[in-house]
Amino acid sequence: MSGDAFEALTRLVAAGDVVVLSGAGLSTESGIPDYRGPSGAARRHTPMTYQAFTRDPDARRRYWARSHLGWRTIAGATPNDGHRAVARLQHAGLLGGIITQNVDGLHTAAGATRVIELHGRLDEVTCLDCGNATGRAELHRRLSEANPGFDAAVAHVNPDGDVDLPDDAVAGFRTVDCAVCGAGMLKPDVVFFGETVPAARVADCFALVERARALLVLGSSLTVMSGRRFVLRAAKHGIPVGIVNQGATRGDGYATLRLDAPLGATLTAVAARFAASAPAPV
């Protein structure tokens, strides 16, 4: 990591009113792989689409079987040094807001507040018929009861919380319906591919970016427009964009500051500069 680039990052944060946009790369040190960075480059996983999930019972069964096993890793993941450093910077009054593309809830677990979770949270489940919301732990219990002994070997967990399993391993898996209305389709409260982020949530993110003094991207390749649009909005308004990510991003051309470095160590070093005003969140 360049010393000059690190000092520039520290100055950017020190000026305050920074909005953080985080991606999957921030959670890799918690054991959750990303899509396109170093931990995800070797995989060829095709994420579930909203259309397949809602229209195809077999696709839905495959999703819940794979997600049922993957949930153990997501539920057991804990915040890493990068998450804790972001929370310390927020508590020091240096951040104007946090937008995350991640669905793991680790920013909040690290002590951050007022986090806009762009794509939702994997630990929450919604009935598409009656709208009832429940915790994922309760659904996990019900699925375990409906599928005793279902414990296929897991090679790795995908970023969206499911695992790769052959079709014959999920053929007998039983899904469950909403416990409130009795027959409603249950879906994790996350935005699938092919589904749109709620307009009000996007508007809140745009407003946050437009009020910022700087936008700091952490651990996102910015490959999809869902996150890249905020970089484009910042650039349009003349707001400096800093990017810390391992590997190239599609926002590099708009960056006024670019570091290719591990997130945990880099952010911890930045937060240490403000240790007196940024106590570790309780």
Q: Which pLDDT value is given to residue 85? A: 98
Q: What is the mean pLDDT of residues 192-196?
A: 91
Is the model's pTM score more than 0.85?
Answer: yes
> Reading across the β-sheet that carries 95-100, which strands appear in turn?
115-117, 95-100, 18-22, 214-218, 241-244, 257-259
Class of domain 44-76+120-190: alpha beta
- Tell me whether residue 191 is annotated as binding: no
- Is 205 marked within a binding site? no
Higher per-residue pLDDT: 282 or 275: 275
Q: Are strands 186-190 and 120-127 parallel, antiparallel or unpaired?
A: antiparallel
Tell me which residue of 258, 230, 249 sits closest to 9, measured CA to CA: 258
178 is in an annotated binding site: yes
pLDDT of residue 242: 98
Is the per-residue pLDDT at 39 higher than 50? no
For residue 137, pLDDT beyond 90:
yes
pLDDT of 192 strictly over 90: yes
Burial pattern 184-195, b for ≥16 Cβ within 10 A else e, equals: bebbbbbbbeeb
Q: Is 220 annotated as a binding residue?
A: yes
Mean pLDDT of 247-258: 97
Positions annotated as catalytic residues are: 119
Residue 20 CA to residue 89 CA, distance in Å, equals: 10
pLDDT digits 0-9 by tens, 153-189: 555 666 666 777 777 888 889 999 999 999 999 999 9
Domain ranges of the chain: 1-32+80-119+197-282, 44-76+120-190
- Average pLDDT over every residue of 104-121: 97
Q: What is the pLDDT of residues 202-229, one digit of tens each?
A: 999 999 999 999 999 999 999 999 999 9
Q: Tokens representing 159?
A: 């970023």
CATH number attached to the domain at 1-32+80-119+197-282? 3.40.50.1220
